Amino acid sequence: MTESIYLDNNATTPLDSAVLAAMQDCMRHCYGNPSSKHHVGAAARERLIAARIQVAALLGCAPGEVVFTSGATESNHMAIMGALAIDPAKRHIVSSAVEHPSTLLLLGHLAAQDVEVTLLPVDGEGRIDLDRLASVIRADTALVSLMWANNETGVLFPIAEAAAIAKSNGVIFHTDAVQVVGKIPVDVEEVPVDLLSLSGHKLHAAKGVGALYIRKGLRLPPLFFGNQERKRRGGTENLIGIVGLGVAAALAARAIAQVGPGIGELRDVFERGLLERMPQTWINGASAPRVPGTSNLRFAATDAEIVLDGLDKAGVCASSGSACTAGGTEPSHVLVAMGQTADMALASVRFSFSRFNTVAEVERLLELLPGIVGPRIDGATQKVGG
């Protein structure tokens, strides 16, 4: 059987062996409830404290500013709903047209209620206009919520500058940082965000665990009520998942100087090699700053699902966009927002790398792709970008 090449790391990442070992140890030896006062509960509580310190170190914040959640969807909802609840007179939210579905679907629900939502457009490369952001903030704006890196294209938003604009207007700023944590350095003291979401399974930890950074002094109302997490997130903690997230965060912090450049080089080698072999290829967002490791490509005169099926049969895992929406046949809302037609968007494939990928895998992919895509190309010309 052909050895699998996994290039869908923006959807989920393989569990790191050290993370698995820590979780198994916790399962065997740390079964107590962290809220219990006896010694078994105290042992569990120590594991919880240690994991919080590890995640805080990765983000450059105090441990008390980290709240553990079930994942990025909950973190995003907690940030948005919480910010909206702080001042009932502020019923306006600013976000972008290319956010993750976990944000856009919630904003759509709120817009059907009594909340006004402004979605910033993007240009053909997936970039927002900071002047446009500044112009749409109002006296009743409760929150600006922008993803740090797009999960489909990898395009980076200028989060430090956007957060500064929000802060200068007295508006809370949230970022969905799922696709950057562990790939580029994140320091919330240097980038003045108020709220930041992250997900364990995008960081070589387990599914079902994440975190929300809440800047000290921001009294964010809880989404779930209870005494856990300093009354900010009710419910008995998922200690096994949290311990794994802590180890994943510690591993990411130690390797951050190597991981980003490493997966960035893999992507660049792949894209250069592909354009040499298949000049009828578009790189979506190529002219914009991109997070390391994400490559979103449009192939001429073909259908992404056919390409993905061919890749899958050859042992290569890739995707056509967000795993939260890729089960359908709708064109990517991200690529459509970038000005592409439905047919263009439906011809795009995303390859996303992790530190477990190798140059040999890239070379194998470059050997495979022309045979899978080539027969469907019909005299198109090379173009980079949208």
Any domain includes 386: no
Do residues 279 and 231 share a domain?
no
Give the end of a domain, one of 227, 252, 277: 252
Three-state DSSP class for 107? Answer: helix
Q: Record the tokens describing residue 334, joined without a space.
A: 């991200």
Do residues 150 and 166 share a domain?
yes
* pLDDT bracket for residue 302 (50, 70, 90): confident
Any domain includes 199: yes
Q: Which domain holds residue 325?
A: 5-13+256-376
Q: What is the CATH number of the domain that holds 349?
A: 3.90.1150.10
Do residues 206 and 61 share a domain?
yes
Any domain includes 282: yes
pLDDT > 70: percent of the chain = 94
pLDDT tops 80 at residue 326:
no
Query: Poorest-confidence range of 7-16, 188-197, 301-310?
Result: 301-310
Question: Once rounded to an integer, what is the mean pLDDT over residues 318-325?
Answer: 70
Any domain includes 383: no
Do residues 156 and 200 share a domain?
yes
* pLDDT bracket for residue 384 (50, 70, 90): very low
Do residues 127 and 246 share a domain?
yes
Catalytic residue among 26, 61, 317, 324: 324
pLDDT in tens, 197-236: 999 999 999 999 999 999 999 999 998 999 898 889 999 9
Q: What is the overall mean pLDDT for the chain?
A: 94
What is the reported pLDDT for 231?
83
Residue that is written with structure tokens 């995008």 in the block: 202
Do residues 178 and 311 share a domain?
no
pLDDT tops 90 at residue 78:
yes
Q: What is the CATH number of the domain that holds 93?
A: 3.40.640.10
Distance separating the N- and C-terminal Cα atoms of the chain: 37
Amino acid at 283: I
Cα-to-chain-centroid distance, residue 91: 26
Any domain includes 360: yes
Q: What gap in Å lies between CA 250 and CA 18, rounded to an integer?
A: 11
CA angle 233, 236, 238 (to 5 degrees): 95
The more confidently predicted of residues 370 and 384 is: 370
Strand order in the sheet with 195-199: 66-69, 210-214, 195-199, 172-176, 141-147, 92-96, 116-120
Question: Once rounded to an integer, what is the mean pLDDT over residues 310-316?
Answer: 97
Any domain includes 84: yes
Do residues 263 and 120 share a domain?
no
How many domains does the chain divide into?
2
Do residues 95 and 234 share a domain?
yes
What is the reported pLDDT for 321?
66
Question: Once rounded to an integer, what is the mean pLDDT over residues 76-90?
Answer: 97
What is the reported pLDDT for 1?
53
pLDDT tops 60 at residue 381:
no
pLDDT in tens, 239-279: 999 999 999 999 999 999 999 999 999 999 999 999 999 99
Do residues 289 and 233 share a domain?
no
Give the end of a domain, one of 252, 286, 314: 252
Let me know if 324 is a catalytic residue.
yes
CB count in 10 Å sphere of residue 164: 15
pLDDT in tens, 103-154: 999 999 999 999 999 999 999 999 999 999 999 999 999 999 999 999 999 9
Do residues 262 and 223 share a domain?
no
Give the end of a domain, one of 252, 274, 307: 252
> What are 87's strand-pairing partners?
none
pLDDT in tens, 40-77: 999 999 999 999 999 999 999 999 999 999 999 999 99
pLDDT tops 90 at residue 160:
yes
Any domain includes 382: no
Question: Once rounded to an integer, what is the mean pLDDT over residues 292-297?
Answer: 98
Do residues 175 and 263 share a domain?
no
Note whether 166 and 80 are within 8 A (CB).
Answer: no
Do residues 277 and 208 share a domain?
no
Any domain includes 223: yes
